[in-house]
Amino acid sequence: MRPTTAIADLLQAQRGHLFPWTPVFLGAGIGAYFSLKFEPGAAAFAGLAICALLMAAGAMSRRPLAFLLWAPALAAAGLCLAGARAHRVSAPVLDFRYYGAVEGRVVAVDRSPTDALRLTLDQVRLDRVAAEDTPARVRISLKALEQVPPPGARVMTTAHLLPPQGPAEPGGFDFRRHAWFKQLGGLGYTRVPVLLAKAPGQGLPVDRLRRNMAQGLQDRIAGETGGFAAAITTGDRSGVGQQTLTALRQSNLAHLLAISGLHMGLLTGFVFAALRVAFNLIPVLALRWPVKKLAALAALIAGAGYLALSGGNVATERAFVMVAVMFGAVLLNRRAITLRAVAVAAWIVLLRRPESLLSPGFQMSFAATAALVAVFAVLRDREIPLGPRWLRPVLALVISSAVAGAATAPFAAAHFNTVPHYGLLANLLSVPVMGSVVIPAAVLALCLAPFGLEMIGLTVMRWGLDWILAVAQAVSEFEGALSHVPAPSHWVLPLFAAGMLFAVIWQGRLRLAGLLPAACALLMWSAAERPVVLIADSGGLIGVMAPQGRALSRAKGQGFTAKIWLENDGDPAGQIAAAARWRGETEALPIWQGLGFRLVHAPGKRKLAQANACKKGDIIVSTVTVQMPENCLLLTPAVMRQTGSIAVTATGGLQTSRSVSGQRLWTGWRPEGAEISRLRRILGQENP
């Protein structure tokens, strides 16, 4: 038998099951675009587009295995799609530290990791900055605020603004890329009150409605429960404090806070079921009208309203697409929940926002959905019983929570470096309450609001949310509730995802082969080594690996960078504890020696003055620039703007954020100078 014939026979068994592979190959092309170290030019994009069209034309021929050309065609199309999106959202980005007047229109209000309220402004005006150089959007943390301005209001203040910062370490999360696609060209803070320059006009009516509803919920439901209620109904998390967020994350209940597939499914499912029952109770409707389709259409409209009310963020949009595909299948008399429906949803999301492929929300949402569809399809097709009728809902809930938790756990651990051990228990105690109490009560409150009786529904809703918060707090305080894991290397998640996608989509026993690359990915993760030395791009912090864990050069300052480093190490210690690991006198300069060089941290002029007696080959990291002897190398923020953060591996290899991320639209690296060449020579690296 010829190889082509054997392959054709093997693929023949997959007939009818190939469509779910199409978003996989499209996503592979999108991932390839973001992994490039350079920005392709117009000629490269044009060539790829032509190749994609030619391969697509060839795939439609009747030659054996010609359809396999769809894979490279879709991958090339995905790369072009991501590039087109990156260029389309292009907007000015600050390249200097700005201090002065800031004026703009409020488009979003949220809360920072430090629990400070933040305003996102568009239609921005900056003092002495030309319009063509002014960012499309800026985000400002508020230090002094008496009243939150409503969306659509034009405000003014005096603020410090900085360009979006690069990765805290080479290969880490690149906030500049995230900000690029949100058109955030400046971020900062203000220490003075925000003044209302102009009241909201006719623009942003939905955003104002969201804000008014969120404020109304917090006025009627006191405390963190009111903030939780506002978050799950309007997407406004500004009323949820960090302590509550931490408890929800450590108990694996943070997904209840985000308006995602669970909320959208519960809401539309409740509306669908309630209306279908109500219609069937009316004989005229039940006998003459397709009540199932009418209920599906009403549920779809309810989902669209929920999407608009919640602000239409990526997670909610993705959830609505999934629901729309499901109810669309009901309207067309098709099976509602299949891998084809998941694939259609993935197509729509990736076509709209290809950058969402890199987000943990996209990865976890589709991992959970695909796994649930595959597992319940096996249970259905093989007619595996779930016990007596009264026990089936309980077992379905247990299976759903276990499967969704197992499918999302690797992605959550990779992005957040934590593994909650009692997440299944917390979800079993909370998800039924969310579906049977909170969501129906919210719908009831909305229906009773025109009559001034919304407190009936809101009171019941508060009971349910109080229970969920109590469960989160109790589970998060269990001994050993959380484990910390180090960050994986770049290839771990793609390899794991590829293996699990093969196991889920492929039909037949060969699907078990997908477990092999997934297992290899987990082995690679377990063998991952963290850098011995990390240097922040601001020059304000150094972290070196010590026997007890990473030792930090400072106990205060650069707290966000310290937090990221320790999390990526899988280290639960705080910055103060990590700083205590650095041996030496309290007043002495933090000095580390190893790998053939000596590293000195001297932030500020006074500390730097103590480092003047440096030896040949010494590397001094500081936040200021002064004249130093020729025999030592001074790394300052001005120098490190050429490279970003720096890492040194156990073998003495040099990694910089620039070398990992490359020259992309969002990086804005400056040309390397003589200091970087000297650094490479000290570490024994060849000049690039």
Q: What is the pTM of this model?
A: 0.89
Query: Taking residues 200-220, what's their average pLDDT?
Result: 77
CA distance 326 to 273: 14
Look at residues 643, 657, 538 and name the one whose alpha carbon lies nearest to residue 601: 538
> What pLDDT is recorded for position 414?
92
Nearby residues of 112 by Cβ (< 8 Å), 6 or more positions away: 118, 141
- Pick from 215-219, 393-397, 410-414, 656-660: least confident: 393-397
**Which one is predicted more confidently, 683 or 429?**
429
Q: Could you report the per-residue pLDDT of 582-626, keeping only the tens digit for each?
A: 875 445 678 888 888 888 888 888 887 777 677 777 888 888 877
CA distance 16 to 37: 38
CA distance 614 to 78: 52
Average pLDDT score, the chain? 86
Q: How far is CA 67 from CA 32, 60, 360, in A?
A: 22, 6, 32
Residue 197's φ and ψ, nearest 5 degrees, are: -90, -30
- Pick from 222-236, 405-419, 551-565, 582-596: least confident: 582-596
Q: How far is CA 447 from CA 207, 266, 301, in A?
A: 21, 17, 15
**pLDDT at 285 exceeding the cut of 60:** yes
- The span from the first CA to the last CA of the chain, in angstroms, equals 51
Query: Taking residues 293-316, what's their average pLDDT?
Result: 83
> What pLDDT is recorded for position 688?
42
- Parse the chain into domains and list their residue ranges: 3-88, 98-203, 242-484, 492-526, 533-682
- Pick from 32-41, 223-232, 309-318, 372-381: least confident: 309-318
Nearby residues of 286 by Cβ (< 8 Å), 6 or more positions away: 279, 280
Instruction: Name the amino acid, one letter, at 375.
Output: V
> What pLDDT is recorded for position 29?
97
CA distance 198 to 113: 29
Query: Taking residues 178-189, what's their average pLDDT?
Result: 94
CA distance 438 to 316: 18
Q: What is the DSSP string of 218-246?
A: HHHS-HHHHHHHHHHHH---TT--HHHHH
Does residue 288 contact residue 457 with C-beta atoms inside 8 Å?
no
Sign of the CA dihedral with 63 first, then 64, 70, and 73 last: negative
Look at residues 329, 323, 279, 292 and name the one whose alpha carbon lies nearest to residue 305: 323
Nearby residues of 276 by Cβ (< 8 Å), 6 or more positions away: 291, 292, 295
DSSP code of 38? Answer: B
pLDDT band with cut points at 50, 70 and 90 for residue 8: low
Maximum Cα–Cα distance across the chain: 94
pLDDT band with cut points at 50, 70 and 90 for residue 6: low
pLDDT band with cut points at 50, 70 and 90 for residue 338: confident
Strands 98-111 and 418-420 come out as: unpaired
> What pLDDT is recorded for position 88?
96
Does residue 441 contact residue 455 with C-beta atoms inside 8 Å?
no
3-state SS assignment for residue 552: strand
Q: Which residue has the tokens 């190959």?
A: 25
CA 282 and chain centroid, separation: 46
**Which one is predicted more confidently, 93 or 219?**
93
Q: Could you report the per-residue pLDDT of 85-140, keeping only the tens digit for each?
A: 999 999 999 988 999 999 999 988 888 777 788 899 999 999 999 999 999 999 99
Instruction: Name the amino acid, one letter, at 276.
Output: R
Look at residues 173, 209, 189, 177 and name the one whose alpha carbon lies nearest to residue 82: 177
pLDDT band with cut points at 50, 70 and 90 for residue 665: very high
**Which one is predicted more confidently, 173 or 15?**
173
CATH class of 98-203: mainly beta
At CA 394, angle to CA 320 and CA 456, rounded to 5? 60
pLDDT band with cut points at 50, 70 and 90 for residue 687: very low
Q: Could you report the per-residue pLDDT of 630-642, keeping only the tens digit for each?
A: 777 888 888 888 8
Q: Could you report the per-residue pLDDT of 542-570, keeping only the tens digit for each?
A: 999 998 999 999 888 888 999 999 999 99
**pLDDT at 431 exceeding the cut of 70:** yes
CA distance 245 to 304: 27
Query: Taking residues 434-447, what's their average pLDDT?
Result: 86
CA distance 581 to 206: 52
**Which one is predicted more confidently, 399 or 62?**
399
CA distance 594 to 532: 9
**pLDDT at 58 exceeding the cut of 50:** yes
DSSP code of 357? Answer: G
Tokens at 528, concatenated: 């991952």
